Amino acid sequence: MNLMAWQGSIELGIIYGFMALGIFVSFRILNIPDLTVDGSFTLGASCSAIITLAGQPFLGLLAGALAGAIAGLITAFLQTKMKIQPILAGILTMTGLYSINLRIMQKRGNVSLLNIPTVFDPMKQIFGNYAKLLFPLLLIAVVILGMTLFFKTQLGLSIRATGDNEDMVRSSSINADFTKTVGLSLGNAIVGLSGALIAQYQQFSDINMGIGMVVIAMASLIIGEVLLFLGRSLQWHIISVVIGSIFYRLIIMFVLNFNPADRLSSYLANAAEGSFSHHLLSFIIRYGEVSTSDLKLISSIIVGLALSYPVIKDRMEIRKLRKAGEQNAATH
């Protein structure tokens, strides 16, 4: 793991951090699991790629964000006006977007931007070799600041209250349908921006790049909360999400570098031929190497564990109580 790998992971962490911020708005602020993200991420990327091809990379970013906002608007419409369950509404939009994305990319599965100028080229003149790190960092700082301020406005407060207690919101003369629509559009706009940046960063967009993005974003969100968020303030919560995303990429870098063959071979030599541990170790060495194809499984496990943590904790406590009770009964 050299410095380049570290820098690359942090860059990716920041760019995917936008996506995590988008999920933060829908999942944490509005309390809605929004699956549109899988589609709006690719939507942002495909818009950005096509417009970059046409020579307007900055416009590509803007278009990616705008397209994401429209995707969020559609999901919100299905949820609020048509009363479709939030998860299903997201799936409907996401599925429809697959075809739309293919159309945007002119019926090609991927669009390459090799040797095409992206936003990072002009930025090189300002930031030098760190353009790919500093430009997204600057942009995300602006987004974080914007979000922090926005969620303290009257409209922002109303959106936060909608996720907290919809009954209360309606009885305070707030139109909950409207606040949900604004929230979902905002969230998906930030997700679209993330996709738009990624397309230009990795110099291609792919029709399947959005698969599993919801889970990855949630994993980042949860890692950030566990690491930093101490139930304090909104701005810390928002910042912790981005830091979580960076940590997620660093964890992945470490996991990908984990080659069990190197680490376990000495143990294998000590284990007796034919024993259970020998079989187990050689199995792990043979099949255990982690590759990029395992990332989605890892993210799912992280999110699954994090979401089931409260239940697991409860069970453990009950078990402890019961044991203490039995011991008490035995001594008396």
Contact call for residues 21 and 185 (beta carbons, < 8 A): no
For position 172 contacting other proteins by CB under 8 A, the verdict is yes
Cα–Cα distance for residue pair 62/44, rounded to 1 Å: 9
Q: Which is nearer to other proteins, 174 or 281 (CB)?
A: 174
Q: Which is nearer to other proteins, 153 or 257 (CB)?
A: 153
Contact call for residues 204 and 113 (beta carbons, < 8 A): yes
DSSP string, 272-306: PTTSHHHHHHHHHHHH----GGGHHHHHHHHHHHH
- DSSP-derived letter for residue 25 is I
For position 161 contacting other proteins by CB under 8 A, the verdict is yes
Count, residues near other proteins per rule CB under 8 A: 22
Phi and psi at residue 107, to the nearest 5°? 65, 20
With tokens 């096509």, the residue in question is 50
Cα–Cα distance for residue pair 45/38, rounded to 1 Å: 11
For position 153 contacting other proteins by CB under 8 A, the verdict is yes
Least Å distance between CB 71 and other proteins?
23
Per DSSP bridges, beta strands 110-112 and 204-206 are: antiparallel
Quick check: helix, strand or coil at residue 152? coil
Least Å distance between CB 51 and other proteins?
29
For position 26 contacting other proteins by CB under 8 A, the verdict is no
Element (H, E) at 206: strand 204-206
For position 155 contacting other proteins by CB under 8 A, the verdict is yes
With tokens 């964000």, the residue in question is 65
| CA angle centred on 36, ends 64 and 297, rounded to 5° | 105
Q: x/- site string to other proteins, residues 269 to 308, per CB under 8 A? A: ----------------------------------------
Q: Which is nearer to other proteins, 151 or 248 (CB)?
A: 151
Stretch that binds other proteins, among 54-62, 74-82, 156-164, 300-308 (CB under 8 A): 156-164
For position 170 contacting other proteins by CB under 8 A, the verdict is yes
Cα–Cα distance for residue pair 295/123, rounded to 1 Å: 31
Stretch that binds other proteins, among 5-13, 78-86, 166-174, 218-226 (CB under 8 A): 166-174
Least Å distance between CB 156 and other proteins?
6
For position 173 contacting other proteins by CB under 8 A, the verdict is yes
Residue selected from 107, 167, 266, 328 as contacting other proteins according to rule CB under 8 A: 167
Q: x/- site string to other proteins, residues 176 to 205, per CB under 8 A? A: x-----------------------------
Residue selected from 141, 142, 157, 321 as contacting other proteins according to rule CB under 8 A: 157
What would the two tokens of residue 37 be? 């993200």
What are the residues binding other proteins (CB under 8 A)?
150, 152-158, 160-161, 164-165, 167-176
